[in-house]
Structure 1
Amino acid sequence: MQRTGHITPDSLMSLEAYSKWRKAHKPEVIAHRKLRSVQLGEHINLQFESETTIRYQIQEMLRIEKIFEEEGILQEIEAYAPLVPDGSNWKATVMIEYTDANERKRELARLIGVEDRLFVEVDGQARVYAIADEDLDRENDEKTSAVHFVRFEFTPAMCAVIQAGGAVKLGCDHTHYPAHTQIPMETLASLAGDLK
């Protein structure tokens, strides 16, 4: 998959080329996604996005919807490209996961605002809270959404600590979901690559 730092229609594969590429490379993309996935507590999973994950998502949407005209391709790029980190941040898809439908409904009502209480704490630095759902609001007075899109914006000093291999904690200080975890070193190494 061509990595260019910028996703354009010309940098994407045709449906035929992608179909061939997908057969050979899907396991690599799944492994990359898994490496960049961090479980926070029992029910929240953060999938840290990269150009690779977003490029794959766009190609998958084009394949599933059989989109090959430029207007449709541009719409998919417009929808997903903002999720590619741009050098001073990490961007993630947040999934709140409850298998039981009744429990999910109850917990999504209790977890209103949880997306704003997610944080990253870089060793020796202040917490950085998530900037959530910049494209549209995903909660209402009754419940939050099971999926959110967040951005963690870092200072140059924080980027330097991350790139030097400093410890980084991911957490949540929502009243109904207090949780924190150390980001594993192999995941952190991948995420450090998103920073300039």
Structure 2
Amino acid sequence: MQTTGKITADSLMTLEAYSRWRKLHKGEVIAHRKLRSVQLGEHITVQFESELTMRYQIQEMLRIEKIFEEEGIQQEIDAYAPLVPDGTNWKATMLIEYPDVNERKRELARLIGVEDRMFVEVEGHARVYALADEDLDRENDEKTSAVHFLRFELTAAMRAAVKAGASVKLGCDHTNYPAHVAMAPETLASLASDLH
């Protein structure tokens, strides 16, 4: 799967070509996703997206739904392409996971606003809080959603520090979910490649 910097209908594979490619490369994409996945506490996973993860997501949706019409292809691109980082930021899917349905309902009520309290902190720099759910609001007065989309916008100095090997913390300072974790060096190396 060739990354081109911009996902367009012309840069996607046909369903037949993707089916062949998928058999050979699915494991590589899963490993790439795992490398870019950060567990924050027991119940939040932040999956940092890339052009590869979003291109794969679009191709998977086209394959599963057997979409080959231009309009349907463009709808999938419009849904997922905004999650490709654009050189100055990291974009991520945040999953709040509670296996028990009753606990999940209770905790999603307690975690209203959690998506706005997510941050990254580059060594030597101030915290950068996520810009969450820019496409549509994913919470109401009763609960937050189990899935949120985050964008962490980094200054030029922060980007340079990350590329030079600075450590980075991912965290949350929500009252009901205080947590932070140092990102693994191999994860940071992958994320550094997203930055210009």
Q: Does 1:128 align with 2:128?
A: yes
One-letter amino acid matched to 2:171: G
Give the match for residue 99 of structure 1: 99
**Counterparts of 1:3 and 1:23, CA distance in 2:** 18
| TM-score using structure 1 length | 1.00
Task: Give secondary structure in 2 for the equivalent of 1:78.
Answer: helix
**Counterparts of 1:6 and 1:175, CA distance in 2:** 38
Give the match for residue 68 of structure 2: 68
Task: Give secondary structure in 2 for the equivalent of 1:166.
Answer: coil
Q: CA deviation at 1:131?
A: 0.2
Q: Does 1:26 align with 2:26?
A: yes
Q: CA deviation at 1:113?
A: 0.2
Name the % identity.
80
Task: Give secondary structure in 2 for the equivalent of 1:169.
Answer: strand
Q: Does 1:89 align with 2:89?
A: yes
Q: CA deviation at 1:2?
A: 1.3
**Counterparts of 2:30 and 2:84, CA distance in 1:** 17
Give the match for residue 108 of structure 2: 108
Task: Give secondary structure in 1 for the equivalent of 2:189.
Answer: helix
Give the match for residue 78 of structure 1: 78
The CA deviation string for residues 128-162 of structure 1, in whole angstroms up to 9 with x for no partner, is 00000000000000000000000000000000000
**Counterparts of 2:75 and 2:105, CA distance in 1:** 32
Give the match for residue 2 of structure 1: 2
**Counterparts of 1:156 and 1:143, CA distance in 2:** 36
Uncovered stretches (5+) of structure 2, i.e. residues with no partner: none
Q: Does 1:14 align with 2:14?
A: yes
**Counterparts of 2:10 and 2:59, CA distance in 1:** 12
Give the match for residue 58 of structure 1: 58
Task: Give secondary structure in 1 for the equivalent of 2:17.
Answer: helix
Q: CA deviation at 1:64?
A: 0.5
One-letter amino acid matched to 2:46: L
**Counterparts of 2:8 and 2:119, CA distance in 1:** 31
| TM-score using structure 2 length | 1.00
Give the match for residue 139 of structure 1: 139
**Counterparts of 1:167 and 1:28, CA distance in 2:** 26
Structure 1 runs (4+) deviating above 4 angstroms are none
Give the match for residue 165 of structure 2: 165
One-letter amino acid matched to 1:9: A
One-letter amino acid matched to 1:82: P
Q: CA deviation at 1:11?
A: 0.4
One-letter amino acid matched to 1:12: L
Give the match for residue 176 of structure 2: 176
Q: Does 1:46 align with 2:46?
A: yes
One-letter amino acid matched to 2:78: E
**Counterparts of 1:100 and 1:69, CA distance in 2:** 40
**Counterparts of 1:159 and 1:194, CA distance in 2:** 10
